[in-house]
Amino acid sequence: MYYNSNNDSHSQEPWDRPIETTGRSLDNEYVPDEPGHSGKKKGRGGKTVALCLVCALVGGLVGGVGATAATGGLSGGTTTIFEGERAPTVVNVAQVNGKTLLTAPEIYASFVGSTVGITTEVVTTNSWGQPVSAAAAGSGFVITNDGYILTNYHVIDGAQSIKVAFVDGTTYDAVLVGGEEENDIAVLKIDATGLTPVIIGDSDNIKVGEQVVAIGNPLGELTYSMTQGIISAKDRSITMQNGEVMNMLQTDTAINSGNSGGPLFDMYGQVIGITSAKLSSSSSSSEATIEGLGFAIPINDIKDMVQDIIAHGYVTGKAYMGITVTTVPESDAQRYGMSQGALVKSVDESSCAAKAGLQKGDIITAIDGTTVLSSAELVEAKKEYKAGDIVTLEVDRSGEKLTLTLTFDEDTPERRAAQEAAQEEEAQQEQQQSQQGSSDFFWPFGGLSPWFY
Protein backbone atom coordinates (compact mmCIF):
# COMPACT_ATOMS: atom_id res chain seq x y z
CA MET A 1 0.00 0.00 0.00
CA TYR A 2 1.32 3.47 -0.87
CA TYR A 3 0.14 6.64 0.68
CA ASN A 4 0.63 10.32 0.11
CA SER A 5 2.71 11.90 2.81
CA ASN A 6 0.94 15.23 3.02
CA ASN A 7 -1.04 15.67 6.14
CA ASP A 8 -2.56 14.06 9.20
CA SER A 9 0.39 15.62 11.00
CA HIS A 10 -1.59 17.18 13.82
CA SER A 11 -2.01 14.12 16.05
CA GLN A 12 0.22 14.12 19.12
CA GLU A 13 2.36 11.04 19.54
CA PRO A 14 3.73 9.93 22.93
CA TRP A 15 7.18 11.30 22.15
CA ASP A 16 5.69 14.77 21.64
CA ARG A 17 5.39 15.23 25.42
CA PRO A 18 8.01 17.64 26.84
CA ILE A 19 10.76 15.97 28.89
CA GLU A 20 12.24 17.94 31.74
CA THR A 21 15.82 17.50 32.95
CA THR A 22 17.60 19.11 35.85
CA GLY A 23 21.16 18.02 35.20
CA ARG A 24 23.11 14.95 34.26
CA SER A 25 24.62 12.10 36.27
CA LEU A 26 27.95 10.30 35.89
CA ASP A 27 28.95 7.37 38.14
CA ASN A 28 26.10 8.27 40.51
CA GLU A 29 27.58 11.76 40.98
CA TYR A 30 25.29 14.66 40.18
CA VAL A 31 26.88 17.20 37.87
CA PRO A 32 24.99 20.50 37.71
CA ASP A 33 24.34 22.38 34.50
CA GLU A 34 26.67 25.09 33.30
CA PRO A 35 26.63 28.39 35.20
CA GLY A 36 24.12 30.87 33.91
CA HIS A 37 21.66 28.20 32.80
CA SER A 38 18.76 27.00 34.86
CA GLY A 39 18.70 23.25 35.27
CA LYS A 40 15.15 23.00 33.97
CA LYS A 41 14.34 22.88 30.27
CA LYS A 42 10.79 23.20 29.05
CA GLY A 43 8.95 22.41 25.84
CA ARG A 44 11.15 21.77 22.86
CA GLY A 45 14.26 22.65 24.82
CA GLY A 46 13.53 19.66 27.01
CA LYS A 47 13.34 17.40 24.00
CA THR A 48 16.74 18.61 22.82
CA VAL A 49 18.43 17.94 26.13
CA ALA A 50 16.85 14.52 26.42
CA LEU A 51 17.97 13.64 22.91
CA CYS A 52 21.53 14.68 23.69
CA LEU A 53 21.59 12.46 26.74
CA VAL A 54 20.31 9.48 24.81
CA CYS A 55 22.90 9.98 22.09
CA ALA A 56 25.63 10.12 24.70
CA LEU A 57 24.52 6.85 26.23
CA VAL A 58 24.32 5.12 22.88
CA GLY A 59 27.56 6.48 21.49
CA GLY A 60 29.68 6.24 24.62
CA LEU A 61 32.65 8.44 25.43
CA VAL A 62 35.51 8.74 22.97
CA GLY A 63 38.91 10.33 23.32
CA GLY A 64 39.52 14.01 22.77
CA VAL A 65 42.24 16.57 23.23
CA GLY A 66 41.30 17.98 26.61
CA ALA A 67 40.53 16.37 29.97
CA THR A 68 38.68 17.28 33.16
CA ALA A 69 38.96 15.25 36.36
CA ALA A 70 35.98 14.43 38.58
CA THR A 71 35.80 12.44 41.80
CA GLY A 72 34.09 9.03 41.52
CA GLY A 73 31.24 8.73 44.01
CA LEU A 74 31.73 5.01 44.72
CA SER A 75 35.38 4.16 44.02
CA GLY A 76 36.95 7.20 45.62
CA GLY A 77 39.21 7.63 42.59
CA THR A 78 38.98 10.02 39.70
CA THR A 79 37.09 9.77 36.45
CA THR A 80 38.40 11.52 33.38
CA ILE A 81 35.99 13.26 31.02
CA PHE A 82 37.47 14.07 27.63
CA GLU A 83 36.39 17.18 25.78
CA GLY A 84 37.11 17.78 22.12
CA GLU A 85 37.72 21.07 20.35
CA ARG A 86 37.16 22.01 16.73
CA ALA A 87 36.84 25.16 14.75
CA PRO A 88 33.26 26.04 13.79
CA THR A 89 32.37 25.04 10.24
CA VAL A 90 31.96 28.03 7.96
CA VAL A 91 29.15 27.41 5.46
CA ASN A 92 28.74 29.86 2.60
CA VAL A 93 25.80 30.20 0.26
CA ALA A 94 26.99 28.28 -2.77
CA GLN A 95 26.87 29.33 -6.41
CA VAL A 96 24.96 26.60 -8.24
CA ASN A 97 26.36 26.08 -11.73
CA GLY A 98 25.65 22.40 -12.37
CA LYS A 99 29.35 21.59 -12.42
CA THR A 100 30.48 21.98 -8.83
CA LEU A 101 29.64 19.37 -6.22
CA LEU A 102 28.32 20.92 -3.03
CA THR A 103 28.17 19.71 0.52
CA ALA A 104 24.84 19.10 2.23
CA PRO A 105 25.35 22.14 4.52
CA GLU A 106 25.99 24.32 1.45
CA ILE A 107 22.79 23.11 -0.23
CA TYR A 108 20.82 23.71 2.94
CA ALA A 109 22.25 27.20 3.44
CA SER A 110 21.55 28.07 -0.19
CA PHE A 111 17.97 26.81 -0.44
CA VAL A 112 16.34 26.48 2.96
CA GLY A 113 15.01 29.99 2.27
CA SER A 114 13.46 28.68 -0.97
CA THR A 115 11.56 25.91 0.81
CA VAL A 116 8.18 26.68 2.37
CA GLY A 117 5.82 25.06 4.81
CA ILE A 118 2.26 24.86 3.54
CA THR A 119 -0.76 24.86 5.83
CA THR A 120 -4.25 24.40 4.47
CA GLU A 121 -7.74 24.53 5.90
CA VAL A 122 -9.98 21.74 4.66
CA VAL A 123 -13.69 21.69 5.45
CA THR A 124 -15.37 18.28 5.45
CA THR A 125 -18.78 17.01 6.50
CA ASN A 126 -19.10 14.70 9.48
CA SER A 127 -21.54 11.83 9.86
CA TRP A 128 -24.18 14.22 11.21
CA GLY A 129 -23.95 16.44 8.13
CA GLN A 130 -22.12 19.23 9.95
CA PRO A 131 -19.12 21.03 8.41
CA VAL A 132 -15.83 20.28 10.16
CA SER A 133 -12.68 22.30 9.64
CA ALA A 134 -9.25 20.66 9.90
CA ALA A 135 -5.69 21.76 9.20
CA ALA A 136 -3.24 19.84 7.05
CA ALA A 137 0.43 20.47 6.40
CA GLY A 138 2.88 19.91 3.58
CA SER A 139 5.90 21.43 1.86
CA GLY A 140 6.68 23.34 -1.32
CA PHE A 141 9.44 25.34 -2.98
CA VAL A 142 9.85 28.65 -4.79
CA ILE A 143 10.34 28.35 -8.55
CA THR A 144 10.32 32.06 -9.55
CA ASN A 145 11.48 35.21 -7.79
CA ASP A 146 8.01 36.75 -8.13
CA GLY A 147 6.20 34.23 -5.96
CA TYR A 148 5.27 31.06 -7.86
CA ILE A 149 5.54 27.96 -5.67
CA LEU A 150 5.42 24.29 -6.68
CA THR A 151 3.95 21.57 -4.47
CA ASN A 152 1.95 18.34 -4.66
CA TYR A 153 -1.69 18.44 -5.68
CA HIS A 154 -2.67 16.24 -2.76
CA VAL A 155 -1.23 18.83 -0.36
CA ILE A 156 -3.83 21.45 -1.38
CA ASP A 157 -6.64 19.19 -2.61
CA GLY A 158 -9.95 20.44 -1.22
CA ALA A 159 -8.36 23.38 0.63
CA GLN A 160 -10.51 26.40 1.44
CA SER A 161 -7.46 28.46 2.37
CA ILE A 162 -3.71 28.07 1.85
CA LYS A 163 -0.86 29.69 3.76
CA VAL A 164 2.87 29.38 3.14
CA ALA A 165 5.62 30.11 5.65
CA PHE A 166 9.33 30.76 5.12
CA VAL A 167 12.20 29.88 7.41
CA ASP A 168 12.52 33.50 8.55
CA GLY A 169 8.97 33.39 9.91
CA THR A 170 7.36 35.35 7.08
CA THR A 171 3.94 34.00 6.07
CA TYR A 172 1.75 34.68 3.06
CA ASP A 173 -1.74 33.82 1.91
CA ALA A 174 -1.45 31.78 -1.29
CA VAL A 175 -3.84 31.29 -4.18
CA LEU A 176 -4.04 28.17 -6.33
CA VAL A 177 -3.00 28.98 -9.89
CA GLY A 178 -3.81 25.48 -11.11
CA GLY A 179 -3.15 21.83 -10.55
CA GLU A 180 -2.74 18.51 -12.29
CA GLU A 181 -4.24 15.74 -10.16
CA GLU A 182 -3.10 12.83 -12.33
CA ASN A 183 0.52 13.94 -11.99
CA ASP A 184 0.12 15.23 -8.41
CA ILE A 185 1.43 18.76 -8.97
CA ALA A 186 0.01 22.18 -8.12
CA VAL A 187 1.26 25.72 -8.57
CA LEU A 188 0.58 28.40 -5.94
CA LYS A 189 1.13 32.17 -6.11
CA ILE A 190 1.96 34.56 -3.29
CA ASP A 191 2.21 38.34 -3.42
CA ALA A 192 5.97 38.65 -3.06
CA THR A 193 9.01 39.63 -5.12
CA GLY A 194 12.75 39.26 -4.74
CA LEU A 195 12.50 35.65 -3.62
CA THR A 196 15.28 33.12 -4.14
CA PRO A 197 14.06 30.34 -6.45
CA VAL A 198 15.54 26.87 -6.59
CA ILE A 199 17.55 25.75 -9.61
CA ILE A 200 15.71 23.13 -11.68
CA GLY A 201 17.92 20.22 -12.69
CA ASP A 202 17.74 17.27 -15.09
CA SER A 203 16.29 14.16 -13.48
CA ASP A 204 17.25 12.03 -16.49
CA ASN A 205 20.92 12.55 -15.63
CA ILE A 206 20.66 11.28 -12.06
CA LYS A 207 22.19 7.83 -11.51
CA VAL A 208 21.23 5.07 -9.12
CA GLY A 209 23.52 5.35 -6.11
CA GLU A 210 23.99 9.12 -6.31
CA GLN A 211 23.46 11.03 -3.09
CA VAL A 212 20.46 13.34 -2.75
CA VAL A 213 19.05 15.54 0.00
CA ALA A 214 15.53 16.68 0.79
CA ILE A 215 14.31 19.74 2.68
CA GLY A 216 10.79 19.78 4.08
CA ASN A 217 8.47 19.81 7.05
CA PRO A 218 8.08 16.25 8.37
CA LEU A 219 5.02 15.84 10.59
CA GLY A 220 4.22 19.49 9.92
CA GLU A 221 6.15 20.37 13.10
CA LEU A 222 9.82 19.58 12.46
CA THR A 223 9.99 22.42 9.99
CA TYR A 224 12.82 22.97 7.51
CA SER A 225 14.45 19.61 8.21
CA MET A 226 17.06 18.15 5.88
CA THR A 227 17.38 14.43 5.24
CA GLN A 228 19.94 12.65 3.08
CA GLY A 229 20.12 9.40 1.16
CA ILE A 230 20.71 7.99 -2.30
CA ILE A 231 18.70 7.30 -5.42
CA SER A 232 17.70 3.66 -5.01
CA ALA A 233 16.01 3.16 -8.38
CA LYS A 234 14.57 5.06 -11.34
CA ASP A 235 11.37 4.70 -13.36
CA ARG A 236 9.33 2.94 -10.70
CA SER A 237 5.66 2.56 -11.66
CA ILE A 238 3.98 3.21 -8.33
CA THR A 239 0.27 2.82 -7.63
CA MET A 240 -0.79 5.55 -5.25
CA GLN A 241 -3.47 5.27 -2.59
CA ASN A 242 -6.04 6.89 -4.89
CA GLY A 243 -5.29 4.33 -7.63
CA GLU A 244 -3.20 6.62 -9.85
CA VAL A 245 -0.12 5.00 -11.38
CA MET A 246 2.88 7.32 -11.47
CA ASN A 247 6.49 7.16 -12.60
CA MET A 248 8.76 7.80 -9.62
CA LEU A 249 12.34 8.05 -8.42
CA GLN A 250 12.92 5.72 -5.48
CA THR A 251 15.11 6.97 -2.64
CA ASP A 252 16.06 5.91 0.87
CA THR A 253 16.00 9.57 1.92
CA ALA A 254 13.63 9.90 4.88
CA ILE A 255 10.22 11.09 3.63
CA ASN A 256 7.37 11.38 6.07
CA SER A 257 3.98 12.97 6.48
CA GLY A 258 4.45 16.70 5.86
CA ASN A 259 7.38 16.25 3.44
CA SER A 260 5.07 16.08 0.44
CA GLY A 261 5.72 18.77 -2.13
CA GLY A 262 9.25 19.53 -0.96
CA PRO A 263 12.36 19.59 -3.16
CA LEU A 264 14.75 16.67 -3.68
CA PHE A 265 18.21 18.00 -4.56
CA ASP A 266 21.15 16.35 -6.26
CA MET A 267 24.56 17.19 -4.85
CA TYR A 268 25.00 19.95 -7.42
CA GLY A 269 22.24 21.86 -5.64
CA GLN A 270 19.64 21.31 -8.36
CA VAL A 271 16.09 20.05 -7.83
CA ILE A 272 15.62 16.71 -9.57
CA GLY A 273 12.39 15.60 -7.89
CA ILE A 274 9.37 16.46 -5.76
CA THR A 275 9.08 14.32 -2.64
CA SER A 276 5.62 12.79 -2.72
CA ALA A 277 5.12 9.40 -1.10
CA LYS A 278 6.53 6.51 0.87
CA LEU A 279 5.80 2.82 1.05
CA SER A 280 3.56 1.86 3.94
CA SER A 281 2.44 -1.47 5.33
CA SER A 282 -0.77 0.26 6.41
CA SER A 283 -3.33 2.44 4.66
CA SER A 284 -2.84 4.98 7.45
CA SER A 285 0.17 7.29 7.23
CA SER A 286 0.34 7.41 11.02
CA GLU A 287 0.89 3.64 11.16
CA ALA A 288 3.60 3.34 8.50
CA THR A 289 6.33 0.94 9.56
CA ILE A 290 8.40 0.36 6.41
CA GLU A 291 11.47 2.59 6.22
CA GLY A 292 13.90 3.56 3.49
CA LEU A 293 11.38 3.39 0.64
CA GLY A 294 10.48 6.91 -0.40
CA PHE A 295 9.41 8.24 -3.79
CA ALA A 296 9.74 11.50 -5.67
CA ILE A 297 8.25 12.75 -8.95
CA PRO A 298 11.06 13.22 -11.52
CA ILE A 299 11.26 16.92 -12.31
CA ASN A 300 11.61 16.25 -16.04
CA ASP A 301 8.17 14.61 -16.06
CA ILE A 302 6.41 17.81 -15.02
CA LYS A 303 8.55 20.74 -16.28
CA ASP A 304 6.32 21.51 -19.27
CA MET A 305 3.18 21.01 -17.19
CA VAL A 306 4.31 23.61 -14.67
CA GLN A 307 4.92 26.16 -17.42
CA ASP A 308 1.46 25.41 -18.85
CA ILE A 309 -0.18 25.89 -15.45
CA ILE A 310 1.55 29.23 -14.92
CA ALA A 311 0.56 30.44 -18.39
CA HIS A 312 -2.96 28.99 -18.67
CA GLY A 313 -4.03 27.71 -15.26
CA TYR A 314 -4.08 24.10 -16.47
CA VAL A 315 -2.06 21.64 -18.53
CA THR A 316 -2.94 22.20 -22.17
CA GLY A 317 -3.24 19.52 -24.84
CA LYS A 318 -4.21 16.68 -22.50
CA ALA A 319 -6.34 13.96 -24.03
CA TYR A 320 -9.93 13.78 -22.77
CA MET A 321 -12.48 11.06 -23.48
CA GLY A 322 -15.48 12.27 -21.48
CA ILE A 323 -16.25 9.05 -19.62
CA THR A 324 -15.99 7.63 -16.12
CA VAL A 325 -14.85 4.04 -15.79
CA THR A 326 -14.01 1.48 -13.16
CA THR A 327 -12.27 -1.88 -13.24
CA VAL A 328 -13.97 -5.19 -13.91
CA PRO A 329 -11.95 -7.52 -11.65
CA GLU A 330 -11.01 -10.92 -13.02
CA SER A 331 -13.03 -12.73 -10.36
CA ASP A 332 -16.17 -10.69 -11.09
CA ALA A 333 -15.65 -11.04 -14.85
CA GLN A 334 -15.76 -14.80 -14.44
CA ARG A 335 -18.69 -14.67 -12.06
CA TYR A 336 -20.85 -12.50 -14.30
CA GLY A 337 -19.54 -13.77 -17.64
CA MET A 338 -18.12 -10.38 -18.60
CA SER A 339 -14.89 -9.34 -20.30
CA GLN A 340 -12.14 -8.04 -18.06
CA GLY A 341 -11.31 -4.39 -18.71
CA ALA A 342 -12.44 -0.82 -18.01
CA LEU A 343 -16.21 -0.67 -17.52
CA VAL A 344 -17.83 2.61 -18.68
CA LYS A 345 -19.86 4.09 -15.82
CA SER A 346 -21.04 7.26 -17.57
CA VAL A 347 -20.59 9.15 -20.84
CA ASP A 348 -20.56 12.93 -21.36
CA GLU A 349 -23.02 13.40 -24.20
CA SER A 350 -21.04 16.34 -25.63
CA SER A 351 -17.71 14.47 -25.62
CA CYS A 352 -15.68 12.59 -28.19
CA ALA A 353 -16.65 9.34 -26.46
CA ALA A 354 -20.31 9.91 -27.24
CA LYS A 355 -19.43 10.89 -30.82
CA ALA A 356 -17.43 7.67 -31.17
CA GLY A 357 -20.44 5.65 -30.00
CA LEU A 358 -19.32 4.61 -26.50
CA GLN A 359 -22.21 3.81 -24.16
CA LYS A 360 -22.73 3.26 -20.48
CA GLY A 361 -22.05 -0.40 -19.71
CA ASP A 362 -19.44 -0.87 -22.46
CA ILE A 363 -16.22 -2.59 -21.42
CA ILE A 364 -13.08 -1.19 -23.06
CA THR A 365 -10.70 -4.12 -23.54
CA ALA A 366 -7.99 -2.55 -25.76
CA ILE A 367 -6.76 0.78 -27.12
CA ASP A 368 -4.79 0.80 -30.38
CA GLY A 369 -4.17 -2.90 -29.96
CA THR A 370 -2.85 -2.61 -26.38
CA THR A 371 -4.84 -4.80 -23.99
CA VAL A 372 -6.67 -2.98 -21.20
CA LEU A 373 -7.43 -5.05 -18.09
CA SER A 374 -8.23 -2.24 -15.65
CA SER A 375 -9.11 1.43 -15.36
CA ALA A 376 -5.51 2.10 -14.26
CA GLU A 377 -4.18 0.61 -17.49
CA LEU A 378 -6.53 2.82 -19.48
CA VAL A 379 -5.14 5.83 -17.58
CA GLU A 380 -1.59 4.88 -18.45
CA ALA A 381 -2.44 4.28 -22.08
CA LYS A 382 -4.28 7.59 -22.40
CA LYS A 383 -1.25 9.51 -21.10
CA GLU A 384 0.57 8.63 -24.32
CA TYR A 385 -1.89 10.67 -26.39
CA LYS A 386 -2.66 14.34 -26.93
CA ALA A 387 -5.84 16.18 -27.80
CA GLY A 388 -6.62 15.57 -31.48
CA ASP A 389 -5.01 12.13 -31.63
CA ILE A 390 -7.10 9.34 -33.15
CA VAL A 391 -7.29 5.91 -31.52
CA THR A 392 -9.09 2.62 -32.05
CA LEU A 393 -10.99 1.12 -29.11
CA GLU A 394 -11.99 -2.51 -28.76
CA VAL A 395 -15.23 -2.75 -26.82
CA ASP A 396 -17.37 -5.51 -25.38
CA ARG A 397 -21.03 -4.51 -25.38
CA SER A 398 -23.17 -7.17 -23.73
CA GLY A 399 -21.02 -9.87 -25.31
CA GLU A 400 -20.81 -8.21 -28.75
CA LYS A 401 -17.29 -7.25 -29.87
CA LEU A 402 -17.09 -3.75 -31.38
CA THR A 403 -14.32 -1.57 -32.80
CA LEU A 404 -14.79 2.19 -32.35
CA THR A 405 -12.70 5.09 -33.62
CA LEU A 406 -12.25 8.03 -31.25
CA THR A 407 -10.59 11.45 -31.64
CA PHE A 408 -9.52 12.84 -28.28
CA ASP A 409 -10.90 16.14 -27.02
CA GLU A 410 -8.77 18.50 -24.91
CA ASP A 411 -9.08 18.14 -21.16
CA THR A 412 -10.00 21.57 -19.76
CA PRO A 413 -11.10 22.65 -16.26
CA GLU A 414 -14.54 23.52 -17.64
CA ARG A 415 -15.02 20.06 -19.15
CA ARG A 416 -13.82 18.39 -15.99
CA ALA A 417 -16.12 20.50 -13.78
CA ALA A 418 -19.11 19.76 -16.01
CA GLN A 419 -18.39 16.03 -15.91
CA GLU A 420 -18.01 16.03 -12.14
CA ALA A 421 -21.33 17.84 -11.77
CA ALA A 422 -22.99 15.36 -14.14
CA GLN A 423 -21.56 12.44 -12.19
CA GLU A 424 -22.84 13.83 -8.89
CA GLU A 425 -26.29 14.21 -10.39
CA GLU A 426 -26.17 10.68 -11.78
CA ALA A 427 -25.04 9.31 -8.42
CA GLN A 428 -28.00 10.96 -6.74
CA GLN A 429 -30.36 9.47 -9.33
CA GLU A 430 -28.88 6.01 -8.85
CA GLN A 431 -29.25 6.34 -5.09
CA GLN A 432 -32.90 7.26 -5.49
CA GLN A 433 -33.46 4.34 -7.86
CA SER A 434 -31.72 2.03 -5.43
CA GLN A 435 -33.96 3.20 -2.60
CA GLN A 436 -36.98 2.60 -4.82
CA GLY A 437 -35.69 -0.85 -5.69
CA SER A 438 -35.30 -0.22 -9.42
CA SER A 439 -32.50 0.54 -11.83
CA ASP A 440 -32.15 0.69 -15.60
CA PHE A 441 -28.60 -0.65 -15.47
CA PHE A 442 -27.18 -3.66 -13.69
CA TRP A 443 -24.11 -2.47 -11.72
CA PRO A 444 -22.42 -5.20 -9.69
CA PHE A 445 -19.44 -3.02 -8.67
CA GLY A 446 -21.09 -0.44 -6.44
CA GLY A 447 -18.15 -0.34 -4.04
CA LEU A 448 -15.63 0.69 -6.70
CA SER A 449 -14.94 4.35 -7.42
CA PRO A 450 -15.08 5.45 -11.08
CA TRP A 451 -12.24 7.36 -12.74
CA PHE A 452 -12.53 10.48 -14.90
CA TYR A 453 -11.14 10.35 -18.42
Q: Which residues are catalytic?
A: 154, 184, 260
| H-only helix segments in 349-401 | 352-356, 375-382
* 340: nearest Cα among 407, 383, 394, 392: 394
Query: 362 — phi, psi (to 5°)?
Result: -65, 150
Q: Under a CB-based contact definition with an 8 Å cutoff, are residues 228 and 212 in contact?
A: yes
Task: Give residue 377's identity as a one-letter amino acid code.
Answer: E
Q: Are strands 115-125 and 323-328 parallel, antiparallel or unpaired?
A: unpaired
CA distance 451 to 30: 65
CA distance 276 to 249: 10
Query: 52 — phi, psi (to 5°)?
Result: -60, -40
Q: Are strands 199-200 and 270-279 parallel, antiparallel or unpaired?
A: parallel
CA distance 117 to 166: 7
Cα–chain center distance at 402: 40
115 forms bridges with which residues in the sheet?
A: 141
